[in-house]
Structure 1
Amino acid sequence: MPASSSRKLWYPVWLLALSMLMAAWPCAADTTALEMPATLPAPAAIDALAERTLRLFNVPGLALAIVQDGHTVFERGYGLRDRDRNRPVDPQTLFGIGSITKSFTAASLALLVDQGAIGWDDRVIDHLPELQLSDPYVTRELTIRDLLSHRSGLGEGAGDLMLFSRSQFTREEAVHNLRFLPLSTSLRSHFAYNNMMFVVAGLLVERVSGERWERFVQKRLLDPLGMSGCHADPVAALAHPAQDADIAVGYHEIGTTLMKLPSDPLKAAAPAGGILCNADGMARWMRLQLGAGSIDGRQILSRTQRDAMWTPQTILPPGPTAALSRQHFRSYGLGWFLEDFKGDERIWHSGTVAGMVSLVSMLPERGTGFVVLTNQEDSNATNGLVAALTEAVQGGSFDWLGEYKRREQAAGAARDRRAVDLPGSAARPFLHPPATELAEYAGNYRDSWRGLFSISLQGDHLSLRVSKADDLAGSMDALPHDLFVVHWDDRAFNGSDDAYIQFQRDPDGRIVSATMRLIGSDFSFDVQDLTLRRQPS
């Protein structure tokens, strides 16, 4: 697809500046100075990589920005932000940046640390005394540092059913219900990616600052940084957009068909994934990070706290491409992933929300950063493009886009092989019990942290509806032994999250409870933590 919108490219000036910096290298003492040469690809080569990404991964549109030595040296849009209306992506197009928001929540707390209002090792209950987890020891000992490093003991994605699928939970309600969620491990013993802890962190920002998280982030970070058009309040930003607002539409691929997704304003989850931003604004965010908290001569955040966020807290196993990228370490800091890529330190975070995938990746020793924002739920596109750009800066030639496409195809082939044994296949056909038998399962069920689940008989089949979520409902197909499969009605939004529901009986043979388990692998659809207890009729 042809590229669109503006480009910022100070190419000859940048090369001159680089040669001058390298000449002065022996006396350089600033740790933010360029420590390794970084040769960016020519603009035409960057365009070719971006356009190949769109084609390979069926992505409607993307925005790309590159920063180097404190400047935004390239920013451009490619493809379409809205296929139905044929609207192009440009550097000002707003995307949901998903979990990259976590770095803003961490920075918000860092500002409060700079003020002396909190310390990283303060106990959370000293500022949020109402916080309660299922283990009294963890409740008592959990620190602010723990909130931001995915080591609380909660399982991967635990609590996410209160945050996504257009949830109606408030932030306060979701945090209150943490007391009912089971822990998977002991405190600080394992990494388990968890959004709820960043929701707690957002509530902590509010309690200490006296301002809503959305206002604090907008006033203390986005506006001072000049992140034009970026919004910390997704509910307000998406409520009444202008007729031709420059906002990307998210898409989900089913087979080879792209399905348009409605926006998810993330009412409770904003501190974990709610910011809307554009490539131009995210370039400024990277400039602040690479500038040790400073941008355009203004110190927004202290170098000490920037360094704290980039300090490893929780050890991670090597990533899936570790052998190819010659990865020696991988960890999580405070709101950032930390690793090495072919000898370069790499600071990064990705985000996925409502049909959009984003990735920020920085190479501090080269003074270089990349941001890619896309409107299709395929992380192979963002990972492949950023890896290709990193490879080019390092002077390599490995085909990362081709590698990620091969991995995607292999994963698809593996899914196809598994499909022969999935529920509804010839090997495991669904049953068709009469309505009189299905009525035995109908009724209201309640889970301690997620609330009410209603199962009703609709003609010759059962239907399940989940409370406090717009349109989270599905039909149920029967398998042997009181086992059903829930097929969610909204196939574009939740089609990959179909789940088993297993009913239990008491000694008299009456249905008394049910548990659920995801058929697929979306960690954010954490039905495995549910225990549905039947309510008296």
Structure 2
Amino acid sequence: MFRFICLCFAAYGACSPVWSADKWLTDYAADIQAKAQANNLPGYAFAYIEKDGPASVVLYGKESKTGPAIELDTVFRLASVSKTFTSMLMAKYVAQNQLSWQMPVDNLVPEYPFSKTAEAPLLLQHVVGQSSGYTPNAYDNLIEANYSVKRVLNMLSDLEPLCSPGKCYTYQNTLFAVIEEYFSHQGSSYQQALNKAIIEPLGMPHASVGKQALMASEKWAKPHVAISRNRWHTTKVRDDYYRYSPAAGVNASIEDMIVWMRALLGEEPNVIAPSLIEQVTEPRVKSKKELYRRQWRKYLSDAHYGLGWRIYDFNGHQLNYHGGWVKGYRAEVAFSPEYGVGYVMLMNAESNLINEFTPDFWSRCFEHLEKMQLTAKAQQKN
């Protein structure tokens, strides 16, 4: 059975002893549990966060088949949800005039002449904004084959772009290595920079970067892959995408992700300024392919990529979203700036059910919030 928790912080007061989640949310939790049980999922954690209010958390399953139950502080891999951290880290550096979104990548990493094959310079904003122009997911196969980062970047810099930088949406992982290389040139690392700028100031107690940090966590969810229909097997944590930490190297618990979501909802303006949140979630390049995702397409009428975020028009509401997937894990995060609510789901299994769970959640959530809004307006008139 799943466990439903009202998680409060001192700043928001104590949860009422008679607290109970709204029916739409308990129904959602029950429905996804039924599907998880039918598919024998190892475990997951999800949270619904209201700005300046309590977080409703659901914990389900175990770290592994014979392991302990998943808890608030159980750490998962975030995979490409890491890009939401990277975009904010870069935005903070830009705000401090340490970098510029218009800085050519050739200036960040002079040893890789990325602009030699392009009609226009490849800029930092094109890397973080997924508009480099290179073939989508270029050389991800080489990441998974454990080619060295330097070799992959050299090969990528020689690749002929499909379009000029900034002109088309072309999702990448390998290219994010230039950010790690930049920090290396500064005598630092992405891990150190992220800890100093975001993780430590926000007080994310279990968040980290890298494989060693994951496996050193007191509690961490083991990765699972399908071996047959509804049968899952624990697998090893792979090094491959961890070597591209700005793209897919961050680890966090659901407790950490609630802290992260509260910051994105504007509760930590001294660490994450509202102007930076608006900056990274501004639509920049159209991502038409997203409109045809099977479980999402009936809800979406527009889709763009910003800076480390996907920006959807979901039944008339802006939804800022990102998903992540590496071997043995899935993760998704999304928030509505209109209503000041957010959602996080972390899984220790490569299950496509998450593709169904997230749009279903937002369909129910927006329907609930719209009804509340109409009720409030009617009461004001009376």
Q: TM-score range by the shorter chain?
A: 0.7 to 0.9
Mapped pair 1:188 → 2:166: yes
For 2:71, the equivalent position in structure 1 comes to 90
Work out the CA distance in 2 between the residues paired with 1:364 and 1:285. Answer: 14
Mapped pair 1:216 → 2:193: yes
Q: Is contact 1:69–1:368 with CA below 8 Å preserved after alignment?
A: yes
Structure 2 SS opposite 1:324: coil
Which one of 251, 266, 270 corresponds to residue 224 of structure 2? Answer: 251
Q: Is contact 2:214–2:220 with CA below 8 Å preserved after alignment?
A: no
Structure 2 SS opposite 1:386: helix
**Alignment deviations for residues 122-176 of structure 1 (CA, whole Å, 9 cap, x no partner):** 222223222223x6152860111111122212111112133235x262x444333
Work out the CA distance in 2 between the residues paired with 1:95 and 1:15. Answer: 26
The 5-angstrom pairing of residues 286-305 of structure 1 reads 286-291=261-266, 294-295=267-268, 298-305=269-276
Work out the CA distance in 1 between the residues paired with 2:44 and 2:232. Answer: 15
Mapped pair 1:178 → 2:177: no
**Alignment deviations for residues 498-519 of structure 1 (CA, whole Å, 9 cap, x no partner):** xxxxxxxxxxxxxxxxxxxxxx
For 1:309, the equivalent position in structure 2 comes to 280
Work out the CA distance in 2 between the residues paired with 1:153 and 1:145. Answer: 12
Structure 2 SS opposite 1:366: coil
Work out the CA distance in 2 between the residues paired with 1:375 and 1:338. Answer: 26
Mapped pair 1:384 → 2:356: yes
What is the Cα deviation at residue 198 of structure 1? 1.7
For 2:236, the equivalent position in structure 1 comes to 262
The 5-angstrom pairing of residues 376-525 of structure 1 reads 376-379=349-352, 381-395=353-367
Mapped pair 1:64 → 2:46: yes
Comparing 212-221 with 193-202, which one deviates more in the overlay? Answer: 193-202
Work out the CA distance in 1 between the residues paired with 2:90 and 2:69. Answer: 36
Which one of 272, 279, 282 corresponds to residue 254 of structure 2? Answer: 279
Work out the CA distance in 2 between the residues paired with 1:386 and 1:373. Answer: 11
For 2:371, the equivalent position in structure 1 comes to none
Unaligned stretches of 5+ residues in structure 1? 17-38, 397-537
User: Which residue identity lines up with residue 55 of structure 2 in the other structure?
Assistant: V
User: Which residue identity lines up with residue 158 of structure 1 in the other structure?
Assistant: A
Which one of 266, 273, 292 corresponds to residue 319 of structure 1? Answer: 292
Structure 2 SS opposite 1:99: helix
Work out the CA distance in 2 between the residues paired with 1:90 and 1:391. Answer: 27
For 2:175, the equivalent position in structure 1 comes to 197
Q: Is contact 1:149–1:333 with CA below 8 Å preserved after alignment?
A: yes
User: Which residue identity lines up with residue 8 of structure 1 in the other structure?
Assistant: L
Work out the CA distance in 2 between the residues paired with 1:354 and 1:224. Answer: 30
Q: Is contact 1:359–1:372 with CA below 8 Å preserved after alignment?
A: yes
For 1:359, the equivalent position in structure 2 comes to 332
User: Which residue identity lines up with residue 384 of structure 1 in the other structure?
Assistant: E
What is the Cα deviation at residue 110 of structure 1? 0.8
User: Which residue identity lines up with residue 61 of structure 1 in the other structure?
Assistant: G
What is the Cα deviation at residue 282 of structure 1? 0.8
Work out the CA distance in 2 between the residues paired with 1:153 and 1:336. Answer: 18
Q: Which has the higher helix share?
A: 2
Mapped pair 1:335 → 2:312: no
Q: CA, structure 1 residues 152+249, in 2 after alignment: closer, same or farther (shift >3 Å)?
A: same
Q: CA, structure 1 residues 387+199, in 2 after alignment: closer, same or farther (shift >3 Å)?
A: same
What is the Cα deviation at residue 120 of structure 1? 1.0
Matched residue count: 358
What is the Cα deviation at residue 182 of structure 1? 4.3
Q: CA, structure 1 residues 13+392, in 2 after alignment: closer, same or farther (shift >3 Å)?
A: farther
Work out the CA distance in 2 between the residues paired with 1:13 and 1:228. Answer: 20
What is the Cα deviation at residue 97 of structure 1? 0.6
Structure 1 SS opposite 2:209: coil
What is the Cα deviation at residue 98 of structure 1? 0.3
User: Which residue identity lines up with residue 237 of structure 2 in the other structure?
Assistant: S
Q: TM-score, normalised by structure 2?
A: 0.85
Which one of 207, 211, 215 corresponds to residue 230 of structure 1? Answer: 207
Q: TM-score, normalised by structure 1?
A: 0.61
Work out the CA distance in 2 between the residues paired with 1:182 and 1:222. Answer: 37
What is the Cα deviation at residue 184 of structure 1? 3.6
For 1:157, the equivalent position in structure 2 comes to 137
Q: Which has the larger radius of gyration?
A: 1
Q: Is contact 2:211–2:237 with CA below 8 Å preserved after alignment?
A: no
The structure showing larger relative contact order (alpha-carbon pairs under 8 Å, at least 6 residues apart) is 2
Comparing 247-256 with 353-362, which one deviates more in the overlay? Answer: 247-256
Q: Is contact 1:357–1:382 with CA below 8 Å preserved after alignment?
A: yes
Mapped pair 1:3 → 2:2: yes
What is the Cα deviation at residue 251 of structure 1? 1.3
Q: CA, structure 1 residues 352+49, in 2 after alignment: closer, same or farther (shift >3 Å)?
A: same
Structure 2 SS opposite 1:288: helix
Work out the CA distance in 2 between the residues paired with 1:331 and 1:259. Answer: 36
Mapped pair 1:130 → 2:111: yes
User: Which residue identity lines up with residue 143 of structure 1 in the other structure?
Assistant: L
Q: CA, structure 1 residues 309+57, in 2 after alignment: closer, same or farther (shift >3 Å)?
A: farther
What is the Cα deviation at residue 303 of structure 1? 2.4
**Alignment deviations for residues 424-443 of structure 1 (CA, whole Å, 9 cap, x no partner):** xxxxxxxxxxxxxxxxxxxx
Work out the CA distance in 1 between the residues paired with 2:23 and 2:101. Answer: 40
